[in-house]
Structures are given as structure tokens and as C-alpha cells.
Amino acid sequence: MPMTLAANANAQGSHVGEWRHPAAWDAPCTNLENAVRLARIAESGKFDLLFLADGNGVRQMDKPDLFAATSPSDRPGVFEPVTLLAALAMATDHIGLVATTTTTYDEPFAVARRFASLDHISKGRAGWNLVTTSNPGDALNFSHAAHAAREHRYERAREFAEVVKGLWDSWADDAFPQDKASGRYLDPSKVHVLGHQGKHFQVAGPLNAPRPVQGHPVVFSAGQSEQGKELSAAHADCVFAIESTRPAAQRLYADIKGRLATYGRSHDDMRILAGVTIFVGETEAEADALFQELEDLVSPAVGVDYLSKMVGTKMTGYPLDGPMPVFEEEHVGHTGIGKAIIAMAKEEGLTVRETYKRILPQMGGNMFKGDPKQIADIMEDWYRAKACDGFMIAAPVVPTGLERFIRLVVPELQRRGLFRREYEGRTLRDNLGLRRPANPFFA
């Protein structure tokens, strides 16, 4: 299997200062032409898929500096992702189209319908990133007084995924003959009425869409807690994982894949993608210079606000050059990423300023920086050492960063036999090397 490459398709980039860079495109906010261009660039580089993270609440209104400067993961003015991907499906032929939708505040019938529809529109290129919602404020837009606790969200997510998959299997693959001569539009023996009665959902079914081209659109998941990993093992075809060292990524990889057997699944039934921001230059010095340019576009006020967001605690009262405080208590919104940042700062004795500078370029995730050979070496090393099956790539400065990655690194990966020269198949599942699920209701 070739290495999987996914492009993080956020128009604002992956770094707080990025959209201000002279090479970043102008007016990235809800700009369809830019999105089309980015999709075509990624497809020209034979990327497996475009990935759109998402949420529903406008965030950081309590952090005025960050609010005004716009952190890429806050997305105060974006397209609804499935709508956007339906448009991008018409402008592309091969690339997979993966959108995030929450199990915490959406309904399984609506989600099953939306992604079945996207899978048909794109002729088998849809993916659903199943999340349990990281932003507590999203709750307030869905008639809840507060964000549900993690246990509850994951319990609901499990049942949600089962219902969605059951709905995708509502019809046999050949249930719609649409035969003008006989007058049979559909075959009534080929429908399965779900009749789901569970703790969180009661859903009669069937879905009002034919079975998706891929059987099931590709399911992504991205939680790193115990419950998150168990949910992935049960339901995810792909996992978006973020670890900042290879040993930690190897442990997470072995941990998640080790859980698959419990669900009757094998290692090859899942692709784990390591999230990484890649700064590549023709030379190492060029990559360093870009890194520095972006850092200079972020004021300390924005940096501190950003750190507050990442660790889930207001950091404005702490001296910039004093030690990064250690927060022990667990609360809603205090995610694995936040804990990892606090642990890193403690281990390395970082100040508040040093901590925000460390996390800004890669948003608390991972970063590879260097010339094309250095980047290909580290990607090959992670891939061969089973730290991942591929990468979820954020390339700094949109779209030039992605173009540069495709021009400089993709040929090197191809030369090493690590990455495809042509798409293998027609659907996202084909290209990811994932089986098309059989319909359990129709042998």
C-alpha cells in the first residue's frame, strides 16, 4: 500500500500568522474559487483526500486579540463543509472529500443522508470525520445549556455510528432497477427497515438514498482518550492522530491497531494518519526563513490568547517570561492536546512565551521542517517504523505551501516507491486500500 497523503484544506492555513503572509491568497473567507484551486492542486499531487475540520460555535470572543486575528482552527467564517465538498466534487475527479460532522449535536439520520448524498455526487469519494465536538461553546447553538461530559459524548457517538451505518445499509446495492419497461423503479424485497430503538436514538429508517457507492463512505475519527481510541477501533476506517515524537506515535499506532481484533477487524482495515505541519524549502535555510517569517506575524497578545485556547485555561495573568504553570485538574474541553502541551512545558522547563512559540507553528501538533530530502527521510522513517500509514498534512501558507510540497517532496516520495504516481482506483476506499463493506442485510 502506498503511503496515504491527506491535505488539510482549511483556507486560513494552519498557523495563526499564516493568512497574513504575502504569499497567502487574498480574502480566504468563504472563497469558492480558492477552494476549487486548492482541491485541484492537491489532486495534481495525487493526494488521497482533502480534509475539512469543523465545528459550529464562533469561538474566542472572550480572547479579543485572537478573535480579531483569527486562529485557523476557530473558523469564524467558513463554508459548511459538506456543502463545500459537494461543489468541489464537481471540480475534481479523483481526490477524496472528507468533512467533519459532530455526533454530539447532530442526528444520525441527517448525517447518514448527507454523506450518502455526497458519496453519490462524488461517485464514491466521500468521507465522514466523526467527532464528539471539542468546542464546549457549540452546545449553546443546539438548545443545550452546557457541553455534555466526555463519557456521555462517546457513548452517544458509538450508538450514532451504529445507526448511521445501519441506515447506509438500508438498501441492497441493486435495489433501484429503475426499469422503464416493467415499471419497477425499485425492488421492494431489497429494502431493510432499521427500526433502531436505543438509549440515545429511535430511528425507523430506511434511509431515503440508495446505498452509497462505497457501501459506507470512509469514516474518520480523531479522539485520543481511552474512549476515543475504543470508538476508532470499533468504527473508524481512518484515524487522524497527533503525536509530536515518533515513539509516541508508534505507541498510539500499536495501541489503536491492537484494539481492532476485539471488533473482528484486521490491521489492514484501518489507516492511521499522523497530523503534521510541513515546512519545506529548496534548502533547510529557506524552510527556516519561512518559519521565522510566520512567527514574526504573531504578536505576544495573540500568542498568549492562542495558548489559553490550546490549554483550555486563561493565560493572560501570567508573566510572559515566567514558567508555564502546571494545571492538574481535568475539565470539559481540556483535551489530550492541552495536557500534552502542559506536560511538554513542565518537562522542558519552558516559559509562557517559549510555550506559545513552540506550539504556534504546528498548533500543538507535530512539525517537520527542512529540505526535500530531510522531509522525505523523516516521512519514510515514520512510515516504515509503523508510526503511521500516512500523513494529514498542513502546509504553511495556502496555497503556495501545498504547491511547494508537491513540487519538492512528492517526486522524492515517488522515487522511493513510497507514494503513487497515478490513482489506483475510482473511489476513496480503492485509493486507501480499504475494502468496500458488504451489506449484512443482503448476502
Ligand X SMILES: Cc1cc2nc3c(=O)[nH]c(=O)nc-3n(C[C@H](O)[C@H](O)[C@H](O)COP(=O)(O)O)c2cc1C
Binding site for ligand X (CB under 6 A): 53-55, 100, 102, 131-135, 222-225, 227-228, 240, 242, 275, 335-336
Terminal CA-to-CA distance of the chain, rounded, Å? Answer: 28
Q: Catalogue the E-assigned strands of 309-402.
A: 367-370, 390-394
Residue type, 261: A
Q: Give 175 or 241: the residue with its C-beta nearer to ligand X.
A: 241
Q: How many CB atoms lie within 10 A of CB 229?
A: 20
Q: Give 18 or 169: the residue with its C-beta nearer to ligand X.
A: 18
Q: Are 17 and 294 in contact (CB under 8 A)?
A: yes
Q: What are phi and psi of 101, to 5 degrees?
A: -140, 140
- Classify residue 40 by burial, with Cβ atoms within 10 Å: 0-12, 13-18, 19+: middle
Does a cis peptide bond (omega within 30 degrees of 0) precede residue 136?
Answer: no
Angle between helices 226-235 and 246-258 (to 10 degrees): 60
Q: Give 276 or 352: the residue with its C-beta nearer to ligand X.
A: 276
- Three-state secondary-structure class, residue 129: strand
Q: Give 51 or 109: the residue with its C-beta nearer to ligand X.
A: 51
Angle between helices 32-44 and 81-91 (to 10 degrees): 60
Q: Are 4 and 432 in contact (CB under 8 A)?
A: yes
- Rounded to the nearest angstrom, the gap between the alpha carbon of residue 217 and the centroid of all alpha carbons in its chain is 15
Shortest Å, Cβ 236 to ligand X: 11
Q: How many CB atoms lie within 10 A of CB 422?
A: 6
